[in-house]
Amino acid sequence: MLGQITRWLRRGVTGGVAALGLTAFGAPALGQAASGEPILVGHFGCLTGSEATFGISTSNGIRMAIEEFNAKGGLGGRPVKLVEYDTRGDDKEAGAVVQRLINNDKVVAVLGEVASNRTLAGAAVAQAAGIPLISPSSTNERVTAVGDKIFRVCFIDQFQGYACAVFAHNELGGNAALLYDQSQSYSAGLAEEFKKNYAKLGGKILVEQSYNRGAADFTAQLTAIRNAKPDVIFVPGYYTDVGSISIQARRLGITAPLLGGDGWDSDELGRIGRENIEGSFYSNHYAADQPDPRLQDFIAKYKAKHGAIPDALAGLGYDSANLLFDAMKRAPSQAGDALAAAIAATKDFPGVTGSITINAKRDASKPAVIVELQADTPGQPPRPRFVAKIDPPTDK
Ligand code: PHE
């Protein structure tokens, strides 16, 4: 065993000590740690760029799952080793790095991405190669429709849009404005679902505006929205843009709350938006202040390691990896078809983000929460606080 360890280390595997479950080296658990030929699992994520916290949190969650799995002996003594590439938040790069994971690194499965656009790009490659891909957190409906090798462990935007519409209509008022990112399938899709459900509930969309990811100036759109005097502004974008939008909206004198989807979920949003984003709401996969014991146990472990409260991306990354390992244990072999069939058969998997059953569309049906951004102490960046839980109706 020692010979093998030295060989891996000499190859210069970055993060190898933890990834190979060797943290137990010299500790009493040594006898149980995995030491056979490693099984390679890929992750593609935006580790840099305007949504960098998405990729970093997901990576942290995946790495925690791998460490725990390897410390318990891995897959019959074989450790899982992570191969990870940065998509830099770029769609084309996402497709290219998934190609590299499959062709060069020969991973048995791929985890990622967060943003639906990038997962769609990676999924086309994985599906063509017959290698299973699990997105921890992409919610656009089309993602898993790419094919029978593509899965996710989160809810979809058909439900998230419904959850936001119900909350907006019941709690914030019957007149809404829309401001969505037309460059992202996530944002455009979620806006569409919100619109449909809000109208069904009797709400009115007074004005509809759009922008492109990375835009600097939202004055024209926000002026049109201010003139319509909505009760709530639905902004299903990613956190960097939403932070700027909140600042510019308040500067223009708009006082209506903003409401968004899971794309808001980053500590950065509170740091950028500060008091401008306080009192606004978003839907998410969990709230860290919910009492669920499995979630709280994960939060405590994550905090001890990273010194921060994990966002939902970390929890979903952790769940995607653990669900994959569970399927790997049940699969007769790690070949694409066998592994995909085992993932598809997942029932009542105890995730930290909730119980996960993979349905016929290879999606997971789970409740959503609504959180409100509130500062613990005045002047501090606001943080998400649990407000409501919304269960999926049977048809979502
Ligand atoms: N659901 C978003 C998408 O599909 C990504 C996301 C998930 C962002 C969870 C934050 C938290 O693009």
CATH number at residue 40: 3.40.50.2300
Confidence band of 393 (pLDDT split at 50, 70, 90): confident
Ligand 1 centroid to Cα of residue 152, in Å, is 12
CA–CA distance from 228 to each of 4, 130, 200 (Å)?
Answer: 68, 50, 21
For the chain, how far is it from start to end, CA to CA, in angstroms?
50
Are 45 and 123 part of one and the same domain?
Answer: yes
| Residue with CA at minimum distance from ligand 1 atom 11 | 262
- Judge whether 395 lies within some domain: no
Are the beta carbons of 38 and 20 closer than 8 angstroms? yes
Is 396 inside any structural domain?
Answer: no
Give the pLDDT score at 1. Answer: 31
Instruction: Indicate the number of domains in the chain.
Output: 2
Question: Which of 13-27, 67-81, 341-355, 376-390 shows the lowest mean pLDDT across its residues?
Answer: 13-27
Q: Is 5 domain-assigned?
A: no
Instruction: Report the pLDDT value the prediction gives residue 396, as an integer from 0 to 100.
Output: 57
Return the percentage of the chain with pLDDT > 70, whole number: 91
Query: Does 6 have pLDDT greater than 60?
Result: no
Residue 227 has pLDDT above 90, yes or no: yes
329 and 249: one domain? no
Question: What average pLDDT does the chain have?
Answer: 92
Residue to probe by mutation, ligand 1, list 56, 59, 87, 137, most atoms within 8 Å of CB: 137
**Tens-place pLDDT, residues 200-224:** 999 999 999 999 999 999 999 999 9
What is the rounded distance in angstroms from the CA atom of residue 184 to the CA atom of residue 179? 13
Distance from Cα 115 to the centre of ligand 1, integer Å = 5
Are 100 and 203 in a shared domain?
no
* Among protein residues, the one whose CA lies closest to atom 8 of ligand 1: 263
pLDDT reported for residue 32: 67
Residue 18 has pLDDT above 70, yes or no: no
What whole-number distance in Å separates Cα of residue 87 and Cα of residue 304?
28
Do 51 and 102 lie in one domain? The reply is yes
Which of 182, 262, 264 to probe ligand 1 with, by most ligand atoms within 8 A of CB?
262
Q: Is residue 225's pLDDT more than 70?
A: yes
Share of the chain above pLDDT 90, in %: 89
- Please give the single-letter amino acid code of residue 383: R
Residues 206 and 232 in one domain: yes
280: pLDDT strictly greater than 80: yes
Residue 62 lies in a domain: yes
- State the pLDDT at residue 35: 80
The answer to whether residue 1 is domain-embedded is: no
Looking at the CA of residue 311, tell me the nearest atom of ligand 1. Answer: 11
Query: Could you tell me if residue 14 is inside a domain?
Result: yes
Ligand 1 mutation pick, 113, 138, 164, 183, max ligand atoms within 8 A of CB: 138
Span 34-76, pLDDT tens digits: 788 999 999 999 999 999 999 999 999 999 999 999 999 999 9
In the predicted model, what is the mean pLDDT of residues 64-92?
98
Is the pLDDT confidence value at 7 over 60? no
pLDDT, tens only, 309-368: 999 999 999 999 999 999 999 999 999 999 999 999 999 999 999 999 999 999 999 999
Query: Can you give the pTM of this predicted structure?
Result: 0.91
Q: Whose CA is nearest to atom 12 of ligand 1?
A: 115
b/e map of 24-63 (b: 16 or more CB within 10 Å)?
beeeeeeeebbbeebbebbbbbbbebbbbbbbbbbbbbbb
Asked whether 177 and 228 are in contact (CB, 8 A), the reply is yes
Gap between the Cα atoms of 7 and 68, Å rounded: 22
Answer whether residue 44 is part of any domain: yes
Q: Are residues 117 and 226 in the same domain?
A: no
Cα(57)–Cα(290) distance, integer angstroms: 19
333, 119 Cβ separation under 8 angstroms = no
Q: What is the pLDDT of residue 279?
A: 98
Domain that holds residue 230: 157-284+369-390
Q: 2 in a domain, yes or no?
A: no
Are 45 and 114 in contact by the 8 Å Cβ rule? The answer is: yes
Please indicate, yes or no, whether residues 234 and 380 belong to a single structural domain of this protein.
yes
> In terms of domains, do 267 and 118 share one?
no
| Count of CB atoms situated within 10 Å of the CB of 7 | 10
Which structure tokens are listed for 396? 């979502």
Ligand 1 pocket, CB under 6 A: 54, 114-116, 137-140, 186, 262-263, 265, 312-313
pLDDT computed for residue 4 by the predictor: 32
Residues 385 and 262 in one domain: yes
211 and 341 share a domain?
no
DSSP 48: S
Q: 118, 158, 159, 157: which is closest to 135 by C-alpha?
A: 118
Q: How many CA atoms lie within 13 A of 214 on its CB side?
A: 7
Question: Which among 321, 318, 300 has a CA at the least distance from the CA of 309?
Answer: 300
Ligand 1 center–CA 35 separation, angstroms: 35
Residues 311 and 277 both lie in one domain? no
Task: Verify that 195 and 298 share a domain, yes or no.
Answer: no
Compute, in angstroms, the gap from residue 100 CA to the centroid of ligand 1: 24
| 187 Cα distance to chain centroid | 14
Write phi, then psi, for 329 (nearest 5 degrees): -70, -35
142 — pLDDT class (breaks 50, 70, 90):
very high
DSSP 329-395: HHSSSSSHHHHHHHHHT--SEEETTEEE-B-TTS-B---EEEEEEE-SSTTSPPEEEEEEEEPPPTT
Distance (Å) of CA 152 to CA 176, 294, 378: 30, 20, 38
What tokens does 348 get?
Answer: 């009542």
| Residue corresponding to tokens 């008022």 | 173
Q: How confident is the model at residue 395 (pLDDT cuts 50, 70, 90)?
A: low
